[in-house]
Structure 1
């Protein structure tokens, strides 16, 4: 999976604009959390290279950018959780889930 790194506050507005053309997935990951690592692994095992044609994936490292994670929660009006996925389309969150609720099938089913 070729992640786009979400590490700048300005990218949030770019993601909103991009989501008007193609859905955007944000994966909020804690490198210190085993559940987060397992959830990420479950997603990566099912992800196909061709999926990037349908959705643009972004990766947010919560440990190094907790402030940015809080800004994402505020901008998209979704309570912060970790791990967490947000699927954004036309500037709005159309799907979010966390922990073991993160499901490749659910994400792809919303696109």
Structure 2
């Protein structure tokens, strides 16, 4: 099982980008007040618990860490949505999706194609 790390500082975000040059990185932007986001979070956790992933996993809480969430949108060039999932590799967005399209199967497929 892979655990995720919650990003809370700009330094942690910078480190996450650096890690993307070593291995794929997954980042879930999650709203703690949204039921759709809660379901996406469950799918993300199910994927991580499957043990099949070769990626590092991160979480950004969009309400509690709004500045970081906005910075991630700016750095990726992808309009903010919540929930939203990114697959980053070599400092680039390789794949992203949002809302109910965030599923365990979709994450597996994205990693296989990366």
The TM-score normalised by the length of structure 1 is 0.89
Q: What is the alpha-carbon distance in structure 1 between the residues aligned to residue 61 and residue 68 of structure 2?
A: 9
- Name 1:47's counterpart in structure 2: 48
1:49 Cα offset (Å)? 5.3
**TM-score under structure 2 normalisation?**
0.87
Which sections of structure 2, spanning at least 5 residues, go unmatched? Answer: none
Q: 1:94 to 1:51 in 2, by over 3 A?
A: same
Aligned length: 110
CA contact (8 A) 2:32 2:38 kept: yes
Distance 2:35 2:51 in 1: 28
Using the TM superposition, give the Cα deviation of residue 95 of structure 1 relative to its aligned residue in structure 2, in angstroms.
0.8
Structure 1 Cα separation of the partners of residues 43 and 12 of structure 2: 26
Assess if the C-alpha contact under 8 Å between 2:7 and 2:60 holds in 1.
yes
- 8 Å contact from structure 1 (residues 95, 107) kept in 2: no
- Looking at structure 1, the residues matched to 57 and 48 of structure 2 have their Cα atoms a distance apart, in angstroms, of 11
CA distance in 2, matches of 1:110, 1:22: 14
Kindly report the root-mean-square deviation, in angstroms, between the aligned alpha carbons of the 2 structures.
1.5
